[in-house]
Amino acid sequence: MSGQRSVGAILNMLGLLGISSVLTIAFFYQLALGELPCPLCLLQRAGFIAIGMGFLFNMRLGERPSHYAMILVASLVTGFISMRQVSLHLAPGDPGYGSTLLGLHFYTWALIAAVGIVCYVALVFLLKDITGNRDADAPMGGPASNAAFAIFVLLVAANLLSTALECGAGQCDDNPVRYLLLK
């Protein structure tokens, strides 16, 4: 298979880029619109970072069932956290928390994405089976892989920094309005 990427390798890179897109959109709303993430929002971001780490491990260390298990468990945990936040805003007249994107709040999108990622991993398994590539693939290298890696690492670092600035060394505010370390 010289010079040709496996289906799994390509789908893992696309998965990592998808997670990077989710983190970028959330970070854009935070910086451009001044919408600081609530504690549940921060947990959802951490969940997406864990999902991204599973895709990243598959790309850098080779595909392994344990990496896919990490993606699936992180998706389930992220989905449950999102479900909790959705349920907090089900009361009639509750405006929800934060802005919306295409009419849905980010925590609703996080729930949809978490379910979508579980389906995506199922699709990866199905396509690998159809193409006859059932074994673990070797690590993926090259410029595209390196770019996806760099984008994800920068987003993780930016999210960690912004969380530290927002929450300081203590518990985050339930309804944050300012960065605690920048006051």
Q: Answer whether residue 138 shows pLDDT above 90.
A: no
Give me the mean pLDDT over the 65-70 stretch: 94
Please report, as a single letter, which amino acid is at residue 50.
A
pLDDT at position 157 is 94
Residue 3 is predicted with a pLDDT of: 47
pLDDT at 50 over 80: yes
- Picking from 91, 87, 86, the residue whose alpha carbon sits closest to that of residue 105 is 86
Contacts 24+ apart (CB under 8 A), 146-155: 148/13, 148/16, 148/17, 148/20, 148/59, 149/16, 149/56, 149/59, 149/60, 151/17, 151/20, 152/16, 152/19, 152/20, 152/23, 152/52, 152/56, 155/20, 155/23, 155/24, 155/27
Q: Which two tokens stand for residue 90?
A: 């089900």
The token pair at 19 is 């997670």
Task: Give this prediction's pTM.
Answer: 0.88
- For residue 140, pLDDT over 90 is answered with no
Q: How far apart are CA 39 and CA 176, in angstroms?
A: 9
Predicted local distance difference test score (pLDDT) of residue 1: 41
Task: Report the alpha-carbon distance of residue 58 to residue 151 in Å, rounded.
Answer: 16
Q: Is 100 helix (H, G, I), strand (E, B) or coil?
A: strand
Give the pLDDT confidence of 154-182 residue by residue, as tens digits.
999 999 999 988 888 888 888 888 887 77
Among 96, 14, 92, 91, CA closest to 58: 14
- Alpha-carbon distance of 159 to 162, in angstroms, equals 5
Determine the pLDDT at residue 84.
94
